[in-house]
Amino acid sequence: MKQKHLVIVSAVFLLLAFAAAALLYQNRKSDAAAQAYQRDKSTFVRAHSPVLGNPAAKVDVVEFFDPACETCKEFSPFVKKLMAAHPDKIRLYARYAPFHQGSDQVVKMLEAAKRQGKFWETLDAVFAAQSSWAAHHRPQPELVWNYIGGVGLDIARIRQDMASPEIEKIIQQDLADAKTLNVKATPEFFVNGKPMPSFGYDQLKRLVDEAVAAAY
């Protein structure tokens, strides 16, 4: 009987030690990420990155997204709600991670729309029609044209700008940064440099709430 207890106590002790070590490690890593972000933001945010919100906000939410990614679309209103809950305290940066075949074409459209000052409006239109042009994870970029008519873009100029090498360079830069930051799936969020401990709305909300509480 004593031996049985010894084994059970050991098993429980080892599992608890594992859980405690995992928690400690996550916290340390998250703090280190935040410090690295304060020192150098360049891999997280580039000069070309579209930004939404108060330019003087102290909380940066960096989102790597793919226009064809359903979960990105579902997170979009949620992120806007978070920003509305903390007015003028959050800046949202969009980074491209076109992991789906063909969605880089849509990113080029968005980047061309940015030149006309209509990035976020176009993104909303693209997300709203996502189920029509990217059903079953098979994006058909040429269909997107049918859904961005209402944004008020100069379509001829979009088509022209999409071919520009600068836009290709921006996509390559974002993909390289995604690799450096170990972004393997979209959407991936960094709140003042901290990644979500695990994926989910609540985890993102908690990160944002903590960052706002720390900064204001």
Partner 1 sequence: MNSPAGAQNSNWALVFACWLLACVSTLGSLFFSEVMGYPPCVLCWYQRICMYPLVLILPIGLFPFDRKVVRYAAPLSLLGALIAVFHLLLVAGYIPESIKPCVQGVPCSDVQIEWFGFVTIPLLSGLSFMLITALLLVAHRRSSE
Which of 163, 49, 46 is closest to 112 using CA atoms? 163
Instruction: Pick the binder of partner 1 from 4, 5, 39, 136 (CB under 8 A).
Output: 4
145 DSSP assignment: G
* 11 near partner 1, judged by CB under 8 A: yes
Minimum Å distance from CB 177 to partner 1? Answer: 18
Instruction: Pick the binder of partner 1 from 20, 25, 132, 163 (CB under 8 A).
Output: 25
Is the CB of 2 or the CB of 136 nearer to partner 1? 2
- Residues 71, 66: Cα–Cα separation, whole Å: 9
Minimum Å distance from CB 125 to partner 1? Answer: 36
* 182 near partner 1, judged by CB under 8 A: yes
How many CB atoms sit inside 10 A of residue 51's CB?
Answer: 16
- Residues 156, 141: Cα–Cα separation, whole Å: 16
* 35 near partner 1, judged by CB under 8 A: no
Instruction: Pick the binder of partner 1 from 12, 20, 26, 152 (CB under 8 A).
Output: 26
- Per the CB < 8 A criterion, the answer to whether 147 and 128 are in contact is yes
- Per the CB < 8 A criterion, the answer to whether 187 and 72 are in contact is yes
- Per the CB < 8 A criterion, the answer to whether 137 and 102 are in contact is no
Is the CB of 25 or the CB of 78 nearer to partner 1? 25
* 78 near partner 1, judged by CB under 8 A: no
Which stretch in 16-24, 31-39, 84-92, 113-121 sits in contact with partner 1 by CB under 8 A?
A: 16-24
- Per the CB < 8 A criterion, the answer to whether 107 and 72 are in contact is no
Minimum Å distance from CB 64 to partner 1? Answer: 17
* 21 near partner 1, judged by CB under 8 A: yes
The values of phi and psi at residue 189, to 5°, are: -115, 145
Is the CB of 50 or the CB of 197 nearer to partner 1? 197
- Per the CB < 8 A criterion, the answer to whether 91 and 59 are in contact is yes
| Binding residues with partner 1: total (CB under 8 A) | 15
Is the CB of 14 or the CB of 214 nearer to partner 1? 14
- Per the CB < 8 A criterion, the answer to whether 197 and 30 are in contact is yes
Two structure tokens written together for 117: 């000052």
Two structure tokens written together for 185: 């799936």
Minimum Å distance from CB 161 to partner 1? Answer: 38
Q: Which residues in this chain contact partner 1 in the complex, by CB under 8 A?
A: 3-4, 6-7, 10-11, 14-15, 17-18, 21-22, 25-26, 182
